[in-house]
Amino acid sequence: MISKRLHSLDAMRALLMLLGVYFHLSLAYVTFGGGWATDVNSTSPFFDFFFGFLHYFRMHSFFLIAGFFGSLLYHKRGSKKMIANRFKRIFLPLIVMIGPVSILIDYSRKFSWERKGGHVLAESLSKSFSIFDSPWNLIPESTAHLWFLNYLFFMSLLAYLLKSILSKYYAFHSLSGGNSISNLIRRMISAMFLKPWTGTFLFCLSYGLLMMFLIKGEAQAESQWWSWLWFTKWEAIKTFFAFGFFYFIGWHMYHHKDLLKHISLKRQLGIFFTYSALLTVLLFGLFKILQYSPFPQINEGWGSTYNVTFNVDMSEFDFNHFYDQGNEFKGVFIQGEFNGWCGECDNKMTDEDGDGIYTKEIETYNGDYKFIFTINGWDGVKRDKENDFEEWISPGKEGLDCDVAPEFKDYVIQVFQEDVILDPICWKQCTDCDGNIIDLTSNGKKEPLESDPMNLFYLLLWNFGVPNYVMLVMALCIRFFSTQSKTMRYISDASYWVYIIHLPLTHFIPGLFHGVAMNVFIKFSISSFLITVFAFTSYHFMIRSTFIGQFLNGRKY
């Protein structure tokens, strides 16, 4: 019985990994900017939804499964062997693989941007080697997508330290009852299987209250989780707590592994749709009262749109210097949270009367939006980075005295229930070119909308739904993957390598088709197929039976 249950959770981990491949690939086809070079003729709102849907619960599910298997290691091998295993299988692969993987990511990203710029395949491949021009480019500045390994190792280390401290404490006090708090948590988790309506509700409520307490909209929002020194950044620490909650639940779930058989897909579907409907009603009611939400998904679903006319005065810009640098002027662009900082995707400003004031009307919703002006989309900024990164980008110099959020170095405009026409902002100034302050608020509002205390209820309700999705995914895997499958076992064995190698491929493969007249869904399908084939083929012939496979998985097949 135990082996069947472990098959289902192992399959859950493998399927989540596969979803991660297509999750990152979708960023090459979304309508907003996500760090991927997107072909403006090959985007679709469908991929916006696909990305947002998976982002909502995927990593939370990963950490829950990681906690379960971490607890399994602890109780089967002991604390010292558990932490030794986590060091060899998580931390060392992070340190060893991050260098070559970062180089592949940089090269693939550069290739994709070159292809987007209209260069042919051979020229793009050649130009992309420019990443090696500086030796500093070879040093990984972040953990990239391997941040999961970084967090996971520290969660394992924290679990090891806590278990060691608690075991010594109770041994010293000769307590035979065990950790009363831990026992209480275990009883709460058992309700998730024996009383699923109550247990799922408590699971959801606990996470919602945690995020409300942390004042954090989403686990990965506004934080540098990819940083090597994430533990020095408060928002990234919050991310650690948010995901650590699921690791903690998974760890204690191991004590109830025999109860996993009680999970009914039919019943969990009923819970899922009931709680989702309840959440939708509550969120809709709250939105109708406030007319604003800190979550763009809610604003875009239920809010009214308003037009904001941006104007930038380019009379202070040194076009002679720009052309002396060998640049081609492609235009002035408006970048902001309202268009996902998306480079050149329908955000080019115009100067129809030739007076040097460039204009662009943007349709948006109620909210506070950071924005900047750039030359040539992001292309100009990237090309002239070695000369003067700030030369072709115009943010507020020290945070605007005239905006609603002076702590930001970007311009910030507040939109609330009316159209806005901004006076021309002088290039690289926080005023107009005569020194007059620009009013960046609307309808008499001054304080940031995101600072409204009522937003705490949004944080609670929005995050309440995450565990609901996690439990449904678990129920699906237990229902369909509880028996041993050679295919799922192979995918599970390959998942670690596929996870490591997939991100460069999600840049490189879509780049092959930039500029090709082809339906966006066909492009996505072909790219998905090619990435999947390459990832698993490389695993089969280069990893599975080699020392690399042993290094990653602890054994060669």
pLDDT for position 385: 41
Strands 306-313 and 420-421 turn out to be parallel
Comparing 104-113, 385-394, 442-451, the range with the smallest average pLDDT is 385-394
Angle CA 119–140–94, to nearest 5 = 120
CB under 8 Å, gap of 24 or more: what pairs does 114-120 form? 114/511, 115/37, 115/511, 115/512, 115/514, 115/515, 116/37, 116/38, 116/39, 116/511, 116/514, 116/515, 117/379, 118/515
Query: What does DSSP assign to residue 431?
Result: B
For the question of whether the overall pTM of this predicted structure is more than 0.85, the answer is yes
Q: pLDDT of 102-140, one tens digit each?
A: 999 999 999 998 998 889 999 999 999 998 888 877 889
Q: pLDDT of 10-55, one tens digit each?
A: 899 999 999 999 999 999 999 887 789 888 789 999 999 999 999 9
pLDDT for position 386: 46
- Give the helix/strand (H/E) hosting 67: helix 45-77
Strands 367-375 and 411-415 turn out to be antiparallel
Residues in CB range of 193: below 8 A, 6 or more apart? 199, 256, 259, 260, 262, 263
Residues in CB range of 184: below 8 A, 6 or more apart? none
| 3-state SS string for 374-392 | EECCCHHHHHCHHHHHHHH
Q: Is the pLDDT of residue 383 over 70?
A: no
| Mean pLDDT of all residues in 464-477 | 96
- Residue 89, classed as helix, strand or coil, is helix
Residue 12 to residue 29: CA distance in whole angstroms? 26
| Mean pLDDT of all residues in 498-520 | 95
| Mean pLDDT of all residues in 131-156 | 91
pLDDT for position 170: 56
pLDDT for position 429: 83
Residue 122 to residue 101: CA distance in whole angstroms? 22
Domains of the chain: residue spans and CATH: 2-282+454-553 (no CATH), 296-451 (2.60.40.10)
| Mean pLDDT of all residues in 482-496 | 90
Comparing 165-169, 242-246, 416-420, the range with the smallest average pLDDT is 165-169
CA distances from 245 to 20, 69, 204, 241, 329 (A): 21, 15, 11, 6, 50
- Residue 491: count other Cβ atoms within 10 Å of its Cβ: 20
Comparing 40-54, 344-358, 392-406, the range with the smallest average pLDDT is 392-406
Residues in CB range of 252: below 8 A, 6 or more apart? 67, 71, 182, 185, 186, 189
Find where tokens 């509002």 sit: 445
- Whether the CB-CB separation of 393 and 381 falls below 8 Å is answered with yes
| Mean pLDDT of all residues in 143-163 | 94
Structure tokens at 9: 């959770």
- Residue 214, classed as helix, strand or coil, is helix
Percent of the chain at pLDDT > 70 equals 90
pLDDT for position 105: 95
Higher pLDDT: 25 or 345? It is: 25
Find where tokens 């035979």 sit: 176
- Residue 376: count other Cβ atoms within 10 Å of its Cβ: 22
Query: Could you tell me the pLDDT band of residue 93, with boundaries at 50, 70 and 90?
Result: very high
CA dihedral 217, 218, 219, 220 (to 10 degrees): -110
In one-letter notation, the amino acid at residue 135 is P
Could you give the maximum distance between any two Cα atoms of the chain, in Å?
85
- Whether the CB-CB separation of 20 and 499 falls below 8 Å is answered with yes
Average pLDDT, rounded, for the chain: 88
